[in-house]
Amino acid sequence: MKTYFLNLNTLRFIAATMVVIFHIELYKRFYELPNFFYLVFFQIVGKLSVMVFFVLSGFLITSLLHNEIEKHKKINFKNFYFKRIFRIWPLYFLILILGFFIIPHFPSWSEIPNTAFKPVSENFFEKVLLYVFIFPNLAVAYFGEITGTSQSWLLGTEEQFYIFWPLLILFFRKRLIAAMRSVLMFYWMIKLGLGKAGSIDPQFNVISTFWSLLNINCMVIGDIFAAIFFDQHIKILKILHNKGLFFFTISFLIIGLSFGIKYGFFHYDVYSLNSLGSISYGVYMYHPAILPLAIRAGIHYESNTLIYVITVGGTFLISALSYEYFEKYFLKLKSKLA
């Protein structure tokens, strides 16, 4: 069975681009500029795209681990964690340096009006420690968001997921779908419990926010589809591969987005954008730092179009350069060490 899926690379890039568009309209609202955030599509497309990231992560990680167990009857944990570290950490820590030590020195860059963003100087050392030890999601839940850096909460969630998931795959290989259902039920039970506790005691709201940011439900959905695919549940696969169901799903998605219906994940093939999937990580990580500068330029030149041009164009350019001249170095190093 293959563990490289060309179409998923395309989907990752599209999801990253949708997050950029979501943030452009949201930030225009923060700055009280003309915006389209009143449209339901723009209100939900960001969260939907983040859900896609998590579902993809669950699907791909389970696929890789499944294949490794099938071939070698074990998991090479050193190899697994080296690959994750060298792909994620270099850009992650570069963004931390930018967000903690460079952006704060430029008020026009760091201060976003009409938001709950917190100055970096507040609880500085606590924030730094949480980010350095890969708990940005806990930092966001407890201390609030930071300009140019808080988007990394998603990476923290994925890294925490990678810690325990290989063990679950290894020990419950023969009963994987049942184990995933149990994890899903456990997640929702805790989520509902924390929601009720937060209505009684506000102190539980931080824990509830952190638990929600874990998005275990989305990743487990991806894991379940991977298990269905690799264990060849023929009846289910026949339903999922039905072309009529595919076109119905696409139509339902487009109509639903217009009316605010929230979805999880769907599958499709767009090969022409595959090469852009390699820069999707950079697109997601860099755009929040570029966006405030684009907004300022748009205000100065009285042009909303310029905001899109600078944000999208600048993000894609910097992401491509970052991948070619920064991230690739660590990817090659990862291959040697692995």
Indicate the SS3 state at residue 147.
coil
Domain that holds residue 204: 6-337
pLDDT of residue 297: 96
* Helices (H), ranges, the chain: 6-30, 40-72, 77-97, 107-110, 124-132, 136-143, 153-171, 176-200, 204-214, 216-230, 234-240, 243-259, 280-300, 304-308, 314-322, 328-337
Q: Which amino acid is at 266?
A: F
User: Under 8 Å CB-to-CB from 16, ≥6 apart: which residues?
Assistant: 49, 53, 280, 281, 283, 284
8 Å CB contact between 203 and 211: no
Measured between alpha carbons, how far is 198 from 204 in angstroms, rounded to an integer? 5
pLDDT of residue 264: 44
Q: How far is CA 140 from CA 55, 108, 134, 211, in A?
A: 22, 22, 12, 12
Indicate the SS3 state at residue 202.
coil
8 Å CB contact between 118 and 142: no
8 Å CB contact between 117 and 146: yes
pLDDT of residue 232: 61
Measured between alpha carbons, how far is 273 from 319 in angstroms, rounded to an integer? 15
Number of domains in the chain: 1
User: What predicted TM-score, i.e. pTM, was given to this entire model?
Assistant: 0.86
pLDDT tens track of the chain, all 338 residues? 555 566 778 888 989 999 999 999 999 999 999 999 998 889 889 998 999 899 999 988 988 888 888 888 888 998 899 889 999 999 999 999 999 999 999 998 999 998 888 889 999 999 999 999 999 999 999 999 999 999 999 999 999 999 989 988 888 877 888 888 899 999 999 999 998 888 888 878 899 999 999 999 999 988 888 887 776 655 565 665 666 666 666 666 666 655 555 444 433 334 445 567 889 999 999 999 999 999 999 999 999 999 999 999 999 999 999 999 999 999 888 777 76
pLDDT of residue 234: 54
Concatenated DSSP letters of 250-277? HHHHHHHHHHT----------GGGGGGG
Residue with tokens 């030890």: 133
8 Å CB contact between 172 and 69: no
User: Under 8 Å CB-to-CB from 76, ≥6 apart: which residues?
Assistant: 68
Measured between alpha carbons, how far is 147 from 111 in angstroms, rounded to an integer? 8
Measured between alpha carbons, how far is 276 from 271 in angstroms, rounded to an integer? 10
Q: Which pair of structure tokens corresponds to residue 115?
A: 């938001």
Residue 1 lies in a domain: no
